[in-house]
Amino acid sequence: MRTSDPSASMPAGNTASSSQPIYTEKLWPSAWIWIVVVGLSSAGLLMFGPISTAAAIIAALVLFALMTTMLLLSTPTISVTQDTLRVGRATIDREFVGTVEGFEKSAASAERGTRLNGLAYMCFRGWVDPVVKIEITDPADRTPYWLTSTRRPDALVSALTSPRA
């Protein structure tokens, strides 16, 4: 697994077509997560309500802002270009991508649970059920595969298995 360095410049040989995304997905929180955030934020009302109504409202707003910021900053992106695959903070050249399989429902649960290899790179989100398993063929990398949540497993599998230009 290779992690990208945001300060590193792109090699001169890269063209715009090789860096344009073939597939991109952000794993945004689902609606029910936002309901949970609102519910937890209201705890500020309960904690500070007996002290002061103004303090209770401020506490609830601060809690909401903190949880929203944490959720948005931790939202990973999946991006496939002609040359690279990026899942969250991890990036790898597509030449090291082997077989790719999508899983849904009970098969996805098994991949995240009993069938999971402890050396695998994982990018899960509890509010996204389907997962895609991406074999890593780099001999210098001990990571056997990446397992990532995705809302569109068929589209991600198709993007990774399509022939590169």
Q: What is the pLDDT of residues 37-63, one digit of tens each?
A: 999 999 989 999 999 999 999 999 999
Residue 64: inside a domain, yes or no? yes
Q: Please check whether residue 136 is in contact with residue 98, taking contact to mean a CB–CB distance below 8 angstroms.
A: yes
Q: What is the CA radius of gyration of the chain?
A: 20
Residue 23: inside a domain, yes or no? no
The structure tokens listed for 32 are 């029910």
Number of H helices, E strands in the chain: 6, 9
Beta-carbon-side half-sphere exposure of residue 97 (alpha carbons within 13 Å)? 28
Residue 97 exposed, middle or buried by CB count within 10 Å (0-12, 13-18, 19+): buried
- How much is the pTM? 0.79
Q: How many domains does the chain have?
A: 2
Same domain, 93 and 119: yes
Residue 104: inside a domain, yes or no? yes
Give the pLDDT score at 51: 92
Asked which of 6, 40, 73 is the last residue of a domain, the reply is 73
| Domain of 87, in residue numbers | 80-161
